[in-house]
């Protein structure tokens, strides 16, 4: 046991039906019915192989996309294909989560076989809005359809979804009430590395926060500045734009309209409060990148063309951030500086990741987009640690016990390990 949680070492897996929750959540390539990145699936391979090679019947549960933005809400069929290619073994897939078709497919599994169920967030009880509005306890989550229908078919529950461990949802926190449970290898690794890192990071410690998961970014900013963990927080992406707008800087009509269209205006007071409190530590972009007629253009903050939508940081910001990353002893990155998927708006993100590869600092990258960017710029093997979790990492940093950790500890106490 580690941290009061059972590990895979403590169970005999042969012949067991293992219900394993993974985080395969990736951006979707809609045109090709495929995934834009496979990083999170690759990260889960050691756990999948270990369980299947030990002769267990492995049932994988995963979510894809979110009911909050619906951008990547999709089935898990492409994930089964990718996993199957990665492990060189068939991964069955069923277009059902916990209905009769899924249950029949589970019952038909033979030792060593693997089945991936469809997107668990197709079940309303698993949705983030449901979680946020109803706040079900873990005991109540154990009474949901998905847990009630699947738990009787399983002998062991394994959670390898560290990246989703901040979510209080039935497939993450409900099974631990009913079944012996363990964390998977990826979960174990991420939890150990992050715990050690946050205990005493070498200073100066720089956080680079970008991307569009605004709520996560502001929680993280407040935590690491409040606890004195971060010496500087460099901002970019939508996070940077909201801070600039909150401080009455001109970011162009397109950028402002985007903030309101996505209902992010609620974060403006928080952004202002944080910047006013930590203006010596929060670094705002000095200039912006935007696209006009398909070409990249840049502007300083005092000469922003009226209609633009800023989708990257500019060259002066890039220079400053590269220097601060070079001078740091610990650098933590969550979220890109701009729309790095497209060439005219990738300069900021590319420069940050190249600086990470060059610095002597210990570097940690977290979150789906950042993991994808690290791969795109071929720097993954030059980074100190790449964590699949973004939101989970942030919640972890706040010092709160993660819901899944709580649930796994509960199972550790109630059911204990099989092998002592
Ligand atoms: C993530 O991408 O951070 C995890 O998969 C959790 O996704 P969510 O933020 O949609 O819950």
**Ligand 1 pocket check for 25: Cβ under 6 Å:** yes
Judge if 234 and 255 occupy the same domain: yes
> Containing H/E element for 292?
strand 287-292
Residue 236: the pLDDT is 98
Nearest to 251 by CA among 336, 308, 335, 313: 308
The answer as to whether 321 is a domain residue is yes
Q: Residue 398 above 80 pLDDT?
A: no
| pLDDT confidence band for 201 (50 / 70 / 90) | confident
* For residue 167, pLDDT beyond 90: yes
Do 37 and 161 belong to one domain? yes
Q: How far is residue 208 from each of residues 162, 232, 284, measured CA to CA in Å?
A: 21, 8, 11
Average pLDDT over every residue of 344-365: 96
Which two structure tokens, joined as six digits, stand for 102? Answer: 């899924």
Ligand 1 and 166: CB distance under 6 A? no
Q: Report if residue 197 sits inside a domain.
A: no
219 vs 172, higher pLDDT: 172
Residue 198 lies in a domain: no
In the chain, how many domains are there?
2
Q: Would the pLDDT of 338 be above 90?
A: yes
Whether pLDDT at 162 is above 80: yes
Per-residue pLDDT of 292-323, as tens digits, reads: 999 999 999 999 998 999 999 999 999 999 99
Asked if residue 218 and residue 178 are part of one domain, the reply reads no
How far, CA to CA in Å, does 280 sit from each of 205, 283, 300, 328? Answer: 14, 8, 21, 16
Ligand 1 near 190 CB (within 6 A): no
Nearest in space to 371 (alpha carbons), one of 188, 186, 214, 240: 186
Averaged over 26-42, what is the pLDDT? 92
If pLDDT is split at 50, 70 and 90, which confidence band does 77 have?
very high
Q: Is residue 369 in some structural domain?
A: no
Please tell me if the CB atom of residue 336 comes closer than 6 angstroms to any atom of ligand 1: no
Residue of 35, 212, 217, 368 to mutate, ligand 1, most atoms within 8 A of C-beta: 368
Atom of ligand 1 minimally distant from the CA of 213: 9
**pLDDT above 90 as % of the chain:** 85
Q: C-alpha angle with apex 234: 240 to 220, nearest 5 degrees?
A: 80
Q: What is the pLDDT of residue 345?
A: 97
User: Whose C-alpha lies nearest to ligand 1, atom 10?
Assistant: 66
The overall average pLDDT reported for the chain is: 95
- Do 52 and 118 lie in one domain? The reply is yes
Residue 279 lies in domain = 203-360
pLDDT band at 68 (very low <50, low <70, confident <90, very high): confident
Contact 370, 361 (CB under 8 A): no
Q: What pLDDT was estimated at residue 390?
A: 80
């Amino acid at each position: 046991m580690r941290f009061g949680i059972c590990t895979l070492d403590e169970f005999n897996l042969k012949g067991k039906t293992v219900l394993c929750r993974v985080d395969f959540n990736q951006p979707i390539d809609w045109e090709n019915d495929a995934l834009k990145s496979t990083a999170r699936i690759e990260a889960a391979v050691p756990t999948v192989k270990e369980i299947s090679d030990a002769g267990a019947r492995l049932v994988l549960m995963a979510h894809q996309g979110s009911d909050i933005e619906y951008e990547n809400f999709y089935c898990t069929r492409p994930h089964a294909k990718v996993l199957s290619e990665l492990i060189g073994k068939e991964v069955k897939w069923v277009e059902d989560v916990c209905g009769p078709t899924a249950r029949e497919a589970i019952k038909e599994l033979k030792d060593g076989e693997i089945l991936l169920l469809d997107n668990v967030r197709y079940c309303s009880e698993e949705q983030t809005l449901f979680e946020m509005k109803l706040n079900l306890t873990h005991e109540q989550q154990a009474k949901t359809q998905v847990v009630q229908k699947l738990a009787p078919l399983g002998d062991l529950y394994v959670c390898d979804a560290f990246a989703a461990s901040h979510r209080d949802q039935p497939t993450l926190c409900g099974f631990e009430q009913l079944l012996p449970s363990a964390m998977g290898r990826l979960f174990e690794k991420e939890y150990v590395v992050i715990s050690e890192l946050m205990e005493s990071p070498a200073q100066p410690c720089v956080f680079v926060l970008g991307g569009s998961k605004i709520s996560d970014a502001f929680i993280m900013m407040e935590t690491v500045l409040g606890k004195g963990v971060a010496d500087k927080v460099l901002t970019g992406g939508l996070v940077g734009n909201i801070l600039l707008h909150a401080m009455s800087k001109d970011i162009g009509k397109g950028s402002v309209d985007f903030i309101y269209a996505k209902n992010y205006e609620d974060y403006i007071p928080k952004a202002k409060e944080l910047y006013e409190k930590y203006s010596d530590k929060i670094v705002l972009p000095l200039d912006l990148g935007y696209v006009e007629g398909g070409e990249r253009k840049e502007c300083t903050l005092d000469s922003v063309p009226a209609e633009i939508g800023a989708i990257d940081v500019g060259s002066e910001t890039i220079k400053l951030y590269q220097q601060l990353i070079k001078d740091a002893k610990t650098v933590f990155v969550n979220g890109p500086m701009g729309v790095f998927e497209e060439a005219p708006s990738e300069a900021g993100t590319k420069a940050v990741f190249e600086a990470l590869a060059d610095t002597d600092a210990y570097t940690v990258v977290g979150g789906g987009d950042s993991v994808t960017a690290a791969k795109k710029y071929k720097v993954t093997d030059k980074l100190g640690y790449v964590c699949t979790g973004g939101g989970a990492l942030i919640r972890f940093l706040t010092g709160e016990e993660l819901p899944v950790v709580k649930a796994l500890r509960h199972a550790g106490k109630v059911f204990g390990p099989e092998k002592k």
